[in-house]
Amino acid sequence: MKKEEVLAKIQEVGIMPGIRTSSAEDGRFAAEAIAQGGIPIVEITMTVPKAIDVISDMVRNSPNVIVGAGTVLDVETARRCLAAGAGFLTSPGLDLKIVEFAVKENILAIAGAMTPTEVMAAWQAGSGLVKVFPCTPIGGPAYIRALRGPFPQVPMIAAGGVNQETAADFILAGAAALGIGGRLIPKVALEQREPERISELARRFLRIVKTARSKISHRN
């Protein structure tokens, strides 16, 4: 899938599931359950054991799912993720070298940013989306709304502490998508192998995003 198509799909779906599990098997299980729930996007973080193998396996076996790499901290890791078939590269903070690598390789970069300066630098460097992280501790939806003032052209992913109670508020504040991890993939659902529990949470978050977006369209 081309970079522009990946970007469009993430914005259309509005949810970026971050998979941060303690084993490769749990990572695959969570990714499949999320896809069953209607979210055809997963971000396999580099903290998952054998994360690059998980990316490679999913790219091969789940052709309808966009599989990206998360918590990418250096260019060498970015290169390995790209070789495994990752459809996008996400980092928790701003590393311009990773963004420049992604631009050069024509793959979607999603740089992490917290301050206005970082948002501006990430966007100017070519980050297709900017992940505002950690969002909740630094003001939540109000912070996204504040950033959207000077940067209306920058599509932002709100990540870090987003839950069912706050998800709609982040969308209403102007977030293009939501980065969700533990609230979408409960540990107990992994331990007890309950895929339907994860799938139902995926469907629930999708409904929240859709409802919030419909309020915005009516408001406009």
Q: What string of pLDDT tens digits covers the 220 residues of the chain?
A: 899 999 999 999 999 999 999 999 999 999 999 999 999 999 999 999 999 999 999 999 988 999 999 999 999 999 999 999 999 999 999 999 999 999 999 999 999 999 999 999 999 999 999 999 999 999 999 999 999 999 999 999 999 999 999 999 999 999 999 999 999 999 999 999 999 999 999 999 999 999 999 999 887 6
By three-state DSSP, how is residue 152 classified? coil
Class of residue 203 by CB neighbours under 10 A (exposed 0-12, middle 13-18, buried 19+): middle
pLDDT at 218: 83
Could you confirm whether 194 is annotated as catalytic? no
43 is catalytic: yes
What pairs with residue 129 in β-bridges?
110
| Tokens of residue 34, six digits | 């999320």
Q: E strands of the chain, at which residues? A: 15-19, 41-45, 66-70, 88-90, 108-113, 129-132, 156-159, 177-180
Residues 6+ apart with CB under 8 A from 216: 171, 172
| Amino acid at the residue 163 | N
Neighbours of 153 (CB within 10 A): 7
Q: How many Cβ atoms from other residues are within 10 Å of residue 212's Cβ?
A: 19
Contact (Cβ atoms closer than 8 angstroms) between residue 151 and residue 132: no
**How many CB atoms lie under 10 A from the CB of residue 210?**
11
Catalytic residue among 43, 100, 118, 165: 43
Q: Which of 105, 131, 165, 196 is catalytic?
A: 131
Residue bearing tokens 């790209």: 82
pTM of model > 0.85 = yes
CB 38 within 8 A of CB 59: no
- Measured CA distances, 100 to 2, 66, 121, 219 (Å): 17, 21, 12, 38
Share of the chain residues as helix, strand and coil, in percent rounded to the nearest 5: 50, 15, 35
- Tokens, residue 56: 């490679």
Model confidence pLDDT, tens digit, residues 112-170? 999 999 999 999 999 999 999 999 999 999 999 999 999 999 999 999 999 999 999 99
Which two structure tokens, joined as six digits, stand for 91?
A: 């980092």
Backbone region of residue 64 per phi and psi (left: phi > 0; alpha: psi in -120 to 50; beta: other values): alpha
Could you tell me the residue range of the domain that residue 179 belongs to? Answer: 3-219
According to the model, what pLDDT value does residue 220 have? 66
CATH number at 186 reads: 3.20.20.70
Residue with tokens 């928790």: 92
Domain count, the chain: 1
